[in-house]
Amino acid sequence: MHKPDPSPTSASFDPVVKERQLRSESDTWDTSRVEDARPGDIPVIDLQAFFCNPDEAALTQLADQLRIACETVGFFSIVGHQVPASLINSMFDFARKFHALPLAEKQAIAMDRPDWPVGGMGYLPVKHRKLPARDKGNLNEAFIVKCDHKLAMDDNQWPNEASLPGFRDAVERYAVALEALGKHLLPLFARALDMPSDFFDAAFVSPLYRLRMTHYPPQHDVPADEFGIAPHVDTTFCTILAQDRPGLTIFSERRQQWLRAPLLEDAFIVNSGELLRTWTNDRFISVKHFANNNTGSQSRYSIPFFLNANSDYRMTCIPSCCGPANPAKYPPICYAESQAVVQGE
C-alpha cells in the first residue's frame, strides 16, 4: 500500500525533502511483474447523463463511483465527457507533426533555456531527465505548455507558425476544452469527499495546468531499468490522459499488482495525484505508474493534461478528511510551494 510520508506532521513543507522521498520510494518499486488489467480493474465512469442534465441523483451516483475509484484504484476511465473526437484527433495529428519537425527547430524552443524567462515549458528531447527527474533519461520527447493566473498562452514557447500552421490554435482550443472538463469534474470530486458540490470552485478560478504532447519512439532491447517515462506519482490534483495506443502501466493498490491499462475508445484516463492525496489526508490514492515504448515499428503518442488548483491557493486539509480521531497529517500548502517546484515548475 502507499505509505504516508514519515514526517507529514511538521509545521512547514520542504519541497526538496519531499521530492527526495518520492524518488527514494520509486527506486524500491519492483516493476518486473506486469499483467493485463482485468475487466473492472480500472473503473469506467460514464459522464453523459450528468453533463447533459446535472441533477442531484446523477451527481450522487457518479460521486459514489468516483469515491470508490479514488480510494481503491486511483485511476478511472471517463466516457461521455463531451470533448469532441475531432478535437482529440486533431491534437494527435499535430503532436505527430510537431515531433516530426527537424530537431534543430524543436531545440530552438527547448525547456529551461537560459534566454527564456519562464521554466517548465517548451521542448524536452529524448532521454531528458525531467518530469519526473530520474538518474536515467526518459525515452520520450515532449512539448509542454503551462498556464495559470499569471501565465497565459503568450508566455509559452511555440514553434514557427510557418513550419506548423494551425498548431498553436489547435493546442489552445484543446487546452480550453480540457480545463472546462476538469472543472466539470470538480463537483464529483467534492461530493465524493462528502463536501458541497461547489467546494473546489474557489480553488480553481484560474487553475495551473500543464498540457504535454509526448512522443514515445519505438525502442528495442531496452534495459529493465529504463522506461518511456520512469515510475512515479503525479504531483497533480488530477491528470486527464488521452493516448493513441496502449503503453501505460499502473499499480493497483487493491490487487497489489502492476497492470497494463487498456485503450478504451473515446475515453480519457483520469488519475488522482500527490496534491489530492495530501489534500484528502491520504483518503484518495496517489497512483504509481509508468509508460513504456512500443517494441514494434510504430511510435506511441500520449497527451496528458495535468490539472491543479490555482498555484497560490493554500490547500488546507478537507474538513471531511480529518477530525479529532484523524488529525491532519500535512501542513497547508499551495502548488507553488509543493515538490513540483524542484521539478522545474
C-alpha cell recorded at residue 217: 519512439
- 290 φ/ψ angles, rounded to the nearest 5 degrees: -155, 175
Looking at residue 9, its pLDDT comes to 41
At which residue does the C-alpha cell 503568450 appear? Answer: 154
- Please give the pLDDT value at position 133: 66
Give pLDDT, residue 59.
95
Supply the pLDDT for residue 15.
74
Cell readout for 168 is 498553436
Binned average pLDDT, 10 residues per bin, the chain of 345 residues: 39 73 82 92 94 90 96 94 96 98 97 91 86 75 95 96 97 98 97 97 96 93 83 92 94 92 93 94 94 82 96 95 94 82 61
Task: Tell me the whole-structure pTM to 2 decimals.
Answer: 0.93
pLDDT score recorded for residue 341: 67
Three-point CA angle 221, 225, 30, nearest 5°? 125
Grid coordinates given for 42:
480500472
Per-residue model confidence (pLDDT) at position 122: 96
Q: How far is CA 185 from CA 55, 182, 199, 204, 337, in A?
A: 14, 5, 12, 11, 25
What is the model's pLDDT at position 230?
A: 87
Per-residue confidence (pLDDT) for residue 250, from 0 to 100: 94
What is the identity of the amino acid at 46? D
Tally of CB atoms within 10 A around 253: 16
- Which CATH number applies to 15-343? 2.60.120.330
Cell numbers at 123, concatenated = 521542448
> Residue 10's pLDDT is what?
40
- For 308-335, b/e burial (b = at least 16 CB within 10 A) is bbbbebebebbeebbeeeeebbbbebbb
Whether 251 and 291 have beta carbons less than 8 Å apart is answered as no
Identify the pLDDT of residue 12.
73
For residue 243, what are the CA distances in angstroms to 25, 30, 68, 210, 252?
27, 25, 24, 16, 20
How do strand 122-124 and strand 209-216 relate by DSSP bridges? unpaired
Residue 182 grid cell: 476538469
Side chain identity at 336, as an amino acid letter? Answer: A
Q: List the one residue out of 95, 144, 141, 137 whose CA is nearest residue 118.
A: 144
